[in-house]
Structure 1
């Protein structure tokens, strides 16, 4: 990765290949999301929580695979889903902090110049001929804006769950169609039993803060684990069929 601050003048000739954007998630089994994505994400993926390996802080993710570096929605050319998370769609752009001595502490737009999306053959440009932001760059800025705006709300939601002790480790013990046992560990989910034990005052507080709807989205999304199991079984069956035909 080679992150640099985007310069409309210095990088005006850069081109982005949009067909490679989703490929960056081909080996991601956990994709970070913000609370503003919960409702859409719940229609496709399980929503889980995991601790950041360095900070130990909880964050929400969509689970897209049952193994490390596995995305069961990746078809080989695209993500076969109706909703692609913001953290995928923003590639190869990032939000950085301006740490220059004479700069105020603010966000700056960065780009990974080593990202496979950055390609001279790409159809998408950064700026128009007159130097103004292209429609594509405006779209990226809107996506990054959602992520930045959603950061605080997401942290507040996590804090609310922790204050009520509603996060608990989950271990998925799965037996696939070929009798292969599979365990997925290191994830946390909503403790539904403790949630049902909350009193009226606590439920009212969750409702007024907008967190109750998010909790329900997480609960609904938990059923998407069966979709992942089905996709895993299908992938194994296709692999075996291909190996059989190759003999």
Structure 2
């Protein structure tokens, strides 16, 4: 967070955000974190996998966009999908924390990366209006950041349940394209369907009570989108 600044309507009165979807603006990513509250929308286009970030010792679900680092198969004169995951949409904003004098708990604040290629003062959506108030765009960003904060809690519950019921299955996903080239996706896990199908009624009730049963079935259903990504990549081959 060292590059992030706390947003305010005095220093950043002229701030604008470019909303075009291009590699130059940081959209050339292979995957991004996703959350159970958006799984229904995500699975309309993207495979949902579980990724282990060994550098930070964290495990979380991701939406997959390509087969190698820097590849986003949905970028072509814009982002060609009806839904863009919220962790992409929210750029360059994030939630930060500020210590308020006289209070023991830190207060959440909106922060942004001033070095992000979307940030400028000439082109794009204004962040503040002429009177210093939030624009509709910034109102939307705030709602996204609030959803993301809730989403982190949902992800923690989801991963805890997947580990508890031994549903995580490390997978090497082999991809073969029409030109004969091969790719292997490593470092990802999927939901073990056989173990899921054999869960006891008690376990299924536990997952349902935590509102995790539907997200888990969404993850399983999303795997059919791997074929769609292969089709897109084959189209790019000509």
Taking the aligned partners of 1:100 and 1:22, their CA distance within structure 2 comes to 38
Taking the aligned partners of 2:59 and 2:139, their CA distance within structure 1 comes to 30
Report the Cα offset of residue 127 of structure 1: 1.3
How many matched pairs? 236
- 1:236 aligned onto 2:234: no
Aligned to 1:38: 39
- What does 1:77-156 align with in structure 2 at a 5 Å threshold? 77-99=77-99, 104-156=105-157
Deviations 1:75-120 (A, max 9, x none): 1x31100000111111111111225776632321111111111122
Does structure 2 retain, via aligned residues, the 8 Å contact 1:14–1:120?
A: yes
Deviations 1:140-185 (A, max 9, x none): 1011111011211121111111100101111111221011122111
TM-score, with length taken from structure 2: 0.93
SS of aligned partner of 1:170: strand
Give 5+ residue unaligned stretches, structure 1: 238-247
Aligned to 2:27: 26
Aligned to 1:68: 69
Q: After the TM superposition, which of the residue ranges 23-32 and 187-196 deviates more from structure 2?
A: 23-32
**Cα 1:66/1:20, change in 2 over 3 Å:** closer
Does structure 2 retain, via aligned residues, the 8 Å contact 1:22–1:88?
A: no
Report the Cα offset of residue 55 of structure 1: 2.6
Q: 1 or 2, which has the higher helix percentage? A: 1
Taking the aligned partners of 2:53 and 2:95, their CA distance within structure 1 comes to 18
- 1:58 aligned onto 2:46: no
Does structure 2 retain, via aligned residues, the 8 Å contact 1:23–1:78?
A: no
| Runs of 4+ that moved beyond 6 A | none
Report the Cα offset of residue 53 of structure 1: 3.0
SS of aligned partner of 2:231: helix
Q: CA RMSD in A?
A: 1.8
